[in-house]
Amino acid sequence: MLNAIVSGKAGRVVVDGVERSVSWREMFRRSEDLMTAAVFGRLRYFSPSLLARVMGTLVTPAAAANFGDLQRVDFWPNLEGTHGRVRVQPDVLMWFKTALVMVEVKPPFGGDQNPDQWRDQIRAVAQLAQRDDEPFPNAVHFVGLGRNRNTSPLSEVNVGEFDTGGNFELFLYEREWDIVASVLRDMRDEAVAADAAVLEDLSSALQLFGMLTERYTWTSLLEWANYVSLSSAKLAELPFKTTTSVSQKSRRKSPDWHGLVDFSSLHPISLQP
């Protein structure tokens, strides 16, 4: 389904009756839950070494090295709330042999992370740990993924305010999508065949949300420049945006691409991939 959406072959879906319809591609981009499922639903198919690398990005490499095998992934579990909340639904619970990783996902277009929401979810998991008949992990790693820049930094958050009931040791992390996307992009260059298909799917999902762009090096750009004919004259014909404070007659000078290519050729340090 993801490949069909990325390729624009999934058709359209009716919204609010027959008066309006949108493409599945646009519907996917609007849905926080679809994005969560597309990304975290595929992590379980990674080889242990690549999964450990991704988890090391979400938490820390040292912590992820001690997680053990991934046993299951729960999406939006219905947990009993506390302090006036009837039900609480964390986005993702990743159950490892020795740790539980909770992820609250905020896509680029959504609202900001909310430490009060974190507290509700952690309290609900602590309550689950207290009632669970089976052994519960000794450590819970909570990750606020995306949209942390407008919230209070973790340095100002008192972990003691997150009531765990003494059921586990709690670790908190703030992570942004650009870091995760960068690691996944690097992994594409190193992946063996067994992981390559999973990485391609993840890349497609992130590209739909504008969070993963192709990375170019000076070497690849120069190879492209030698293949095509660069013309500053043609570039000069392209319109440039102006602001209300700038006269319409005042336009930015088009870049000298020939000079840029000559400069880069004379500076081999810039040619390192």
- Per residue, what are the HEC states of 183-244? HHHHHHHHCCHHHHHHHHHHHHHHHHCCCCCCCCCHHHHHHHHHHCCCCHHHHHCCCCCCCC
Report yes or no on 2 lying in a domain: no
Number of domains in the chain: 2
Report yes or no on 209 lying in a domain: no
Same domain, 104 and 161: yes
Report yes or no on 259 lying in a domain: yes
The pLDDT value given to residue 241: 43
Report yes or no on 44 lying in a domain: yes
Same domain, 52 and 179: yes
**Average pLDDT value for residue range 1-28:** 56
Report yes or no on 6 lying in a domain: no
Supply the angle between the helices 48-58 and 177-190 in degrees, to the nearest 10: 160
Closest CA to 144 of 126, 121, 166, 168: 121
Report yes or no on 137 lying in a domain: yes
pLDDT band at 248 (very low <50, low <70, confident <90, very high): very low
Domain range for residue 252? Answer: 218-271
Residues 236 and 64: their CA atoms lie apart, in Å, by 52
Say if CB 102 and CB 143 are below 8 A apart: yes
The pLDDT value given to residue 87: 87
What is the model's pTM?
A: 0.70
Same domain, 174 and 237: no
Report yes or no on 23 lying in a domain: no
Worst-scoring range by mean pLDDT, 47-51, 84-88, 250-254?
250-254
Residues above pLDDT 90, as percent of the chain: 30
